[in-house]
């Protein structure tokens, strides 16, 4: 593996953690978010500042994860008050709010961002393997949640939250849990990105990033862990092979998102399921 392939693999793995985080919120729990990049950014900035202050990766990454997750709970609390269609606007607003604050803040480097971030103290391959382990853990955690009663409750919330409430489900608590877990994963991804790039600017965490991650989740098939991972690999590598996509990211991913939602709401996973007639088997009697 050359240095280029190692970098590519690392960024794919970071994006997998990021996308699995959004999949927790949007895929499992059915709460749309157009501001996922803000939590990615919170993790990245938190990690960058602490790393420059001399803290080791174990501390900086954990702090980034916790801060992003805590911010996610706050946004989740706000989201409890708005209906579904308005949640998209609210989360989009959170994304722009984050950018606005970061751009104005001298302490966060303003437009110029933060540079000369210390390395994580590993070789490039070592760091890739480290991210690989964390991505595997994120995937395992996602599958664990999906198969638990919590995942079952998320299904109910995503389907029809009013009915879930009538059946005794504390819908608010489950939504907040989804936000907390999903945004914490974004924060971890952000911290890893900081150590990977060692130079961050506000635009890394803008609206285009939020839309890109959302299209990874949608193309993969809302809620399907393997589908989302596959889509993340493809959509991360696509701009590398077709350079022109980088210049029209918002257009390409926006169009992709629209097409999938309109014509194949099940995404890749839904398409395969129909093709192979696999059915998820919770409680199947036969």
Residue 152 near other proteins by CB under 8 A: yes
Which long-range contacts link 238-241 to residues 24+ away (Cβ below 8 Å)? 240/8
Could you tell me the smallest distance in angstroms from the CB atom of residue 279 to other proteins? 9
What's the token pair of residue 269? 């996973």
For the chain, the first-to-last Cα distance in angstroms comes to 47
3-state secondary structure of 32: coil
The single residue among 147, 248, 250, 274 that binds other proteins, judged by CB under 8 A, is 147
Which range binds other proteins by CB under 8 A, 40-48, 80-88, 116-124, 156-164?
156-164
What's the token pair of residue 285? 């009697």
Binding positions for other proteins, 172-201, rule CB under 8 A: 173-174, 177
Residue 6 near other proteins by CB under 8 A: no
Which range binds other proteins by CB under 8 A, 17-25, 31-39, 41-49, 166-174?
166-174
Give CA angle at 137 (134, 141), nearest 5°: 140
Could you tell me the smallest distance in angstroms from the CB atom of residue 70 to other proteins? 16
Residue 275 near residue 285 (C-beta atoms within 8 A): no
Could you tell me the smallest distance in angstroms from the CB atom of residue 232 to other proteins? 23
The single residue among 58, 166, 275, 276 that binds other proteins, judged by CB under 8 A, is 166
Residue 149 near other proteins by CB under 8 A: yes
For residue 15, which of 286, 226, 247, 228 has the smallest C-alpha distance? Answer: 228
Rounded to the nearest 10 degrees, how much is the dihedral formed by the CA atoms of 245, 248, 251, 254? 50
Residue 145 near other proteins by CB under 8 A: yes
Instruction: In whole angstroms, give the CA distance from residue 86 to residue 109.
Output: 32
The single residue among 5, 111, 160, 247 that binds other proteins, judged by CB under 8 A, is 160
Contact residues: other proteins, CB under 8 A: 145, 147-150, 152-153, 155-156, 158-160, 162-163, 165-171, 173-174, 177, 282-286
């Amino acid at each position: 593996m050359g240095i280029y392939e190692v970098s590519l693999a690392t960024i794919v793995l970071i994006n997998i953690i990021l996308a699995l985080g959004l999949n927790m919120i949007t895929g499992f729990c059915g709460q749309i978010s157009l501001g996922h990049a803000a939590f990615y950014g919170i993790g990245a900035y938190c990690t960058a500042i602490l790393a420059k202050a001399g803290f080791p990766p174990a501390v900086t990454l954990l702090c980034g994860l916790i801060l992003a997750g805590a911010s996610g709970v706050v946004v989740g609390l706000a989201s409890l008050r708005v209906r579904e269609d308005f949640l998209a606007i609210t989360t989009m607003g959170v994304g722009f709010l984050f950018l606005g604050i970061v751009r104005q803040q001298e302490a966060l480097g303003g437009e110029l961002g933060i540079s000369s971030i210390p390395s994580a103290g590993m070789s490039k391959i070592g760091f890739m393997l480290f991210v690989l382990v964390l991505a595997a853990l994120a995937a395992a955690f996602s599958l664990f949640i999906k198969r638990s009663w919590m995942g079952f409750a998320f299904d109910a919330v995503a389907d029809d939250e009013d009915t879930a409430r009538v059946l005794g489900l504390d819908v608010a608590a489950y939504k907040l849990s989804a936000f907390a877990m999903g945004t914490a994963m974004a924060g971890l991804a952000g911290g890893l990105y900081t150590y990977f790039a060692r130079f961050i600017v506000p635009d890394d965490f803008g609206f285009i990033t939020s839309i890109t991650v959302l299209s990874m989740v949608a193309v993969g098939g809302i809620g399907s862990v393997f589908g989302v991972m596959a889509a993340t690999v493809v959509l991360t590598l696509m701009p590398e092979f077709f350079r022109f996509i980088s210049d029209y990211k918002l257009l390409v991913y926006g169009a992709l998102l629209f097409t999938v939602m309109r014509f194949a709401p099940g995404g890749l996973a839904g398409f395969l399921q129909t093709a192979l007639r696999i059915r998820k088997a919770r409680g199947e009697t036969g």
